[in-house]
Amino acid sequence: MSKPAVLTLDDKEYVFPTIKGVENEKAVDFRTLRSATGYISYDEGYGNTGSCQSEITYIDGEVGILRYRGIPIEQLADKSSFLESSYMLLYGDLPTQFELDQFTTRVRKGAAVSPMMCDALKGFPRDAPPMGMLGSMLGAMSCYNASMATNDRAVDLEHFDEAAAAAIAQTATAAALGYRVTKGLEGNQPDPSLSFGDNFLHLMFSEEGRPYKAIPEVSRALDLMLLLHADHEQNCSTSTVRMVASGGANLFASVAAGCGALWGPAHGGANMAVIKMLEEIRATGDDGSKFIEEAKSGKSGKRLMGFGHRVYKNFDPRAKIIGKACEELLNKLGIDDPCLDIARHLEQAALADDYFISRNLYPNVDFYSGIVLRALGIPSDMFTVMFAIGRMPGWVANWREIAMNPKMKINRPRQIYQGPALRDYVAMEDRG
Ligand code: SDX
């Protein structure tokens, strides 16, 4: 037990317990602050606030460490698969072969979506944003899987294994279906003989009589991308899932909310923004040097997308892994993508520039992921959708951690009111 914290307020001393995590993270336990002192803590953006104690993922932003259930991301990237790491995120430990086979079968069996979802997708405009369609479909899954989405915690937990597999599998199926519907193409049926990533590529790109067959390097690169996105502690979208889950909402309603949070360019939308930035730089003939000056000036409102992070003040370990995989994949496929050269130049220039160094701005997971996804044939307006497919196991694991906690209270932050002081209603005829 670590030493208590002493806080002096209005000349009175208050003592609060402290909490120490497995990796020596420390927190002052302020759960009695308001009742004891009349004060609340204030931390806009929650950068200094712990919302929960979780056993799922650990990040050390200063050093650049990421571990799923204690295992370093570098080892998982090298030795594990997306589904094996997903199982571990959901249930706590690496699966036995039997457990992995069972889970894989559940995911493959749960991949088909209701034909009514296909009809619903046909109701969207052809130029509908894929993340808007995906978020709608995730919410709709609570309708198409109603027996697993009752908002009765005991019942929803009883169906968790099936619901988790459905959420992970059907996110990919719905994403591919949305892509094909907007292209005016018929949807493909999931192929249970294929791996998770190969099945997604089949759902996206197979045509009548011409099934899509991924080469091993493509399969490996996609599986790695999904694994690297699978969870990331209390990021914006995962915290949103926990916020919604804390009210007792079912798994699908909670991950649908997380999907909305991921959409923003400061979060999951950054991978699309990186490619847009690289293409803009390429179109001007600049090697990136001019853009960096603009991003530093802040005047243009431009930022070096794919750089910086709320937690990592060092290299995002995922960026290193993806950067290497990107080089290998493009070499293997014989793709000479000028955006990769520009990205490399931006990285080298920024890492030697005091503006970025002094602000601890390093490449994050999004910096190279768009180049990899483009090499895999994924359209750029689906890059954030790929992030959501990868992040689904993390969202589901966090939903389960809340649902399994009998002491979990509904999340309800406080505020400091800065609006008009007390005043009376003014009749219309007396208004200015
Ligand atoms: C993800 O939280 C997670 O875990 C997220 C994620 C996950 O896996 O879930 O890791 C995924 O969202 C990665 C981040 C993707 N976003 C981007 O790449 C967008 C570009 N980056 C940023 O906009 C920014 O870096 C944030 C939003 C990621 C972090 O912002 P912070 O930590 O709140 O930093 P800040 O906005 O307070 O900026 C601090 C300073 C400012 O300059 P000064 O006011 O000190 O002069 O750094 C500057 C900012 O202008 N700055 C940048 C910059 N990011 C911050 N300047 C240029 N380019 C950038 N990218």
249 Cα distance to chain centroid: 19
**pLDDT tens digits along 32-53:** 999 999 999 999 999 999 999 9
- Has 309 been annotated as catalytic? yes
Look up tokens 């699309």; give the residue: 272
CB within 8 A of 341, min separation 6: which ones? none
Question: What is the structure's pLDDT at 287?
Answer: 86
Nearest protein Cα to ligand 1, atom 43: 359
Length of the chain in terms of residues written: 432
Nearest protein Cα to ligand 1, atom 13: 267
Q: Which atom of ligand 1 is nearest to the CA of 298?
A: 50
**pLDDT tens digits along 329-375:** 999 999 998 999 999 999 999 999 999 999 999 999 999 999 999 99
Q: Under CATH, domain 74-264+385-403 is a member of which superfamily?
A: Citrate Synthase, domain 1 (1.10.580.10)
Name the residue of 231, 267, 360 to mutate for ligand 1: max ligand atoms within 8 A of Cβ.
267
- Report the chain's mean pLDDT, rounded to a whole number: 95
CA of 330 to the centre of ligand 1 (A): 28
Name the residue of 310, 312, 357, 398 to mutate for ligand 1: max ligand atoms within 8 A of Cβ.
310
Name the residue of 303, 311, 367 to mutate for ligand 1: max ligand atoms within 8 A of Cβ.
303
Distance CA 316, CA 22 (A): 21
CA of 226 to the centre of ligand 1 (A): 22
pLDDT of residue 383 exceeding 80: yes
CA of 307 to the centre of ligand 1 (A): 7
State both tokens at 209: 């009589």
Neighbours of 289 (CB within 10 A): 11
CA of 287 to the centre of ligand 1 (A): 22
Average pLDDT over residues 297-308: 86
One of 101, 366, 381, 424 is an active-site residue; which one? Answer: 366
Say if pTM beats, i.e. exceeds, 0.85: yes
Question: What is the structure's pLDDT at 200?
Answer: 98
At 159, the pLDDT band (50, 70, 90 cuts) reads very high
CA of 310 to the centre of ligand 1 (A): 6
Pairing of strands 12-16, 18-20: unpaired
Question: What is the structure's pLDDT at 2?
Answer: 78
Where does the chain hold its CATH 1.10.580.10 domain(s)?
Answer: 74-264+385-403
**Is residue 366 in contact with ligand 1, taking CB distance under 6 Å?**
yes
Neighbours of 5 (CB within 10 A): 15
At 301, the pLDDT band (50, 70, 90 cuts) reads confident
Question: What is the structure's pLDDT at 1?
Answer: 62
> Residue 378: left if φ>0, alpha if ψ -120 to 50, beta else—which one?
beta
**pLDDT tens digits along 172-190:** 999 999 999 999 999 999 9
pLDDT of residue 129 exceeding 80: yes
Question: What is the structure's pLDDT at 101?
Answer: 98
**Is residue 310 in contact with ligand 1, taking CB distance under 6 Å?**
yes
Nearest protein Cα to ligand 1, atom 34: 310
CA of 122 to the centre of ligand 1 (A): 37
Look up tokens 């197979």; give the residue: 206
Nearest protein Cα to ligand 1, atom 5: 235
- Contact status, residue 347 vs residue 363, Cβ threshold 8 Å: yes
Q: Which atom of ligand 1 is nearest to the CA of 308?
A: 25
One of 202, 229, 232, 309 is an active-site residue; which one? Answer: 309
Average pLDDT over residues 68-72: 98
- Has 316 been annotated as catalytic? no
pLDDT of residue 302 exceeding 90: no
Distance CA 30, CA 36 (A): 10
CA of 235 to the centre of ligand 1 (A): 13
Average pLDDT over residues 11-20: 97
Domain 270-375 part of CATH 1.10.230.10:
yes
**Is residue 220 in contact with ligand 1, taking CB distance under 6 Å?**
no
pLDDT of residue 299 exceeding 80: no
Residue 171 in 3-state DSSP?
helix
Where does the chain hold its CATH 1.10.230.10 domain(s)?
Answer: 270-375
**Is residue 365 in contact with ligand 1, taking CB distance under 6 Å?**
yes
- Residue 417 has, within 13 A of its CA and on its CB side, a CA count of 4
CA angle 290, 293, 298 (to 5 degrees): 130
pLDDT of residue 406 exceeding 70: yes
Percent of the chain with pLDDT over 90: 90
At 286, the pLDDT band (50, 70, 90 cuts) reads confident
Which CATH code, of 2.60.40, 3.30.300, 2.20.28, 1.25.40, is assigned to 5-66? 2.20.28
**pLDDT tens digits along 329-338:** 999 999 998 9
**DSSP secondary structure of 275-316:** HHHHHHHHHHT--SHHHHHHHHH-TT----TTB--SS-SS--
**Is residue 308 in contact with ligand 1, taking CB distance under 6 Å?**
yes
CA of 309 to the centre of ligand 1 (A): 5
Where does the chain hold its CATH 2.20.28 domain(s)?
Answer: 5-66
Question: What is the structure's pLDDT at 314?
Answer: 87
Nearest protein Cα to ligand 1, atom 2: 235
**Is residue 359 in contact with ligand 1, taking CB distance under 6 Å?**
yes
Question: What is the structure's pLDDT at 85?
Answer: 98
Question: What is the structure's pLDDT at 170?
Answer: 97
At 276, the pLDDT band (50, 70, 90 cuts) reads very high
